[in-house]
């Protein structure tokens, strides 16, 4: 699998803390923007020197014109340093990497199921589907702990047209309480999704993806999931980021990060 990734210096042009600890950033990188597709990711160097040592793989949540967009949550020292970057900072980036989402030309309905910050690659996909597939029915199911995470979706709301939006919260601070997968399953069960040429696209914590994959299999709806993994190289060389598939391992960076949910081995995780 060949990629067309390159090194670049990207200028931080927008940085917004949309929720405490969650940032939406826009990076100016014309070459990278022109090459990037929904579902792909970039490898960001935190700072020069050797600590933190490895680059951080970050999903793109948008690309267009001269810029790419990312969303990230502060989880450790690397993302803490990223959160301290000031506008104008030159970010050392490699990318784009990975396969991206497959969109069939005759798609009629896209059901996007996102959990928390996992919404990032699906926002990119929603932008593409909204602008390039005029007659598509776009359904967005978003799960998070509380209502405040709606800011994640709002960061892209001017660029996407959604036919149905359901924000399910664990604490019930939105209209729908519980897990997004349960809400999604009840809609599928009612036959509101799955007729016609439907695709499910999902990204989020692995227990959530496991449930989405189970629903997709049960109702025979083709489903693609975007996976997250610790990575060293991003190019498919080190074999550090593998995931279990039926009959072996696949590299999340080079064979994914988007996989058909039916090829993954969901029994061990």
Partner 1 sequence: MTDKAIDLSVTIAGIRMKNPLMVASGSFGYGDAYASFIDNNILGAIVTKGISLKPSQGNPPPRIVETPSGMLNAIGLQNVGLEDFIKEKMPYLRQFDTPVIVNFYGSSIADYVKLAERLTDVEGITGLEANISCPNIKQGGISFGTDAAMASRVTGKIRKATRLPLIVKLTPNVTDIGSIARSVQDAGADALSLTNTFTGMVVDVDTCKPVLANVTGGLSGPAIRPLALRMVWETLKRVTIPVIGLGGIMTAQDALQFLIVGAQAFQIGTALFVNPKAPYEILTGIEGYLQKKNFASLSAVVGSLKL
**Cis before 202 (ω within 30):** no
Which of 76, 70, 122 is closest to 100 using CA atoms?
122
Q: Does 9 bind partner 1 (CB under 8 A)?
A: no
Taking CB under 8 A as the criterion, the residue among 90, 102, 238, 263 binding partner 1 is 238
Coil/strand/helix, residue 90: strand
How far is Cα 22 from Cα 74, in angstroms, rounded to an integer?
Answer: 6
Binding range to partner 1, per CB under 8 A, among 14-22, 159-167, 179-187, 244-252: 244-252
Asked whether the beta carbons of 100 and 37 are under 8 A apart, the reply is yes
Could you tell me the smallest distance in angstroms from the CB atom of residue 76 to partner 1?
9
Among 34, 217, 237, 263, binds partner 1 (CB under 8 A): 237
Site string for partner 1, 194-223 (x = CB under 8 A): ------------------------------
Q: In this complex, which beta carbon is closest to partner 1, that of residue 138 or of residue 254?
A: 254
Instruction: Respond yes or no on whether the N-terminal peptide bond of residue 18 is cis (omega within 30° of 0).
Output: no
Indicate the residue among 50 and 135 with the shorter CB distance to partner 1.
50
Structure tokens at 176: 């729908």
Quick check: 268 binds partner 1 (CB under 8 A)? yes
Comparing C-alpha atoms, which of 265, 118, 108 is closest to residue 193?
108
User: At closest approach, how far in Å is the CB of 188 from partner 1?
Assistant: 30
Q: Give the N- to C-terminal CA distance of the chain in Å, as an integer.
A: 26
Residue 168 touching partner 1 (CB under 8 A): no
Query: Judged by CB, which is closer to partner 1: 54, or 151?
Result: 54
Q: Which range in 156-164, 201-209, 214-222, 241-249 contacts partner 1 by CB under 8 A? A: 241-249
Kindly list the distances between the CA atom of residue 62 and the CA atoms of 1, 47, 125, 133, 145, in Å, as whole numbers in the listed order: 23, 23, 8, 17, 24
Q: Does 233 engage in binding with partner 1 (CB under 8 A)?
A: yes
12 is an interface residue for partner 1 by CB under 8 A: no
Give the one residue of 157, 239, 246, 263 binding partner 1; rule: CB under 8 A: 239
CA distance 7 to 96: 9
Question: Which residue from 122, 156, 221, 254 is in contact with partner 1, where contact means CB under 8 A?
Answer: 254
Lookup: tokens for 251: 């590299």
Which positions lie near partner 1, rule CB under 8 A?
Answer: 2-7, 45, 50-55, 94, 229-244, 248-249, 254, 268
């Amino acid at each position: 699998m060949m990629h067309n990734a390159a090194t670049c210096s990207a200028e931080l042009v927008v940085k917004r803390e949309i929720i405490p600890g969650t940032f939406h950033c826009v990076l100016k990188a014309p070459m990278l923007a022109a090459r990037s597709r929904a579902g792909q990711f970039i490898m960001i160097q935190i700072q020069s020197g050797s600590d933190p040592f490895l680059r951080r793989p970050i999903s793109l949540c948008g690309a267009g014109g001269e810029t790419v967009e990312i969303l990230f949550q502060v989880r450790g020292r690397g993302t803490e340093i990223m959160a301290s970057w000031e506008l104008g900072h030159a970010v050392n980036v490699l990318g784009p990497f990975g396969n991206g989402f497959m969109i069939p030309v005759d798609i009629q309905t896209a059901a996007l199921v996102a959990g928390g910050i996992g919404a990032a690659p699906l926002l990119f996909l929603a932008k593409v589907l909204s602008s390039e597939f005029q007659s598509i029915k776009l359904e967005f199911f978003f799960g998070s702990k509380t209502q405040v995470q709606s800011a994640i979706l709002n960061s892209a709301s001017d660029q996407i047209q959604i036919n149905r939006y359901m924000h399910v919260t664990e604490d019930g601070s939105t209209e729908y309480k519980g897990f997004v997968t349960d809400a999604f399953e009840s809609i599928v069960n009612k036959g509101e999704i799955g007729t016609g040429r439907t695709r499910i696209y999902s990204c989020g914590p692995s227990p959530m993806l496991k449930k989405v994959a189970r629903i997709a299999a049960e109702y025979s709806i083709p489903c693609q999931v975007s996976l997250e993994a610790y990575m060293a190289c991003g190019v498919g060389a080190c074999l550090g980021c593998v995931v279990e598939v039926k009959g072996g391992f696949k590299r999340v960076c080079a064979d994914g990060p988007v996989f058909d949910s039916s090829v993954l081995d969901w029994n061990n995780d």
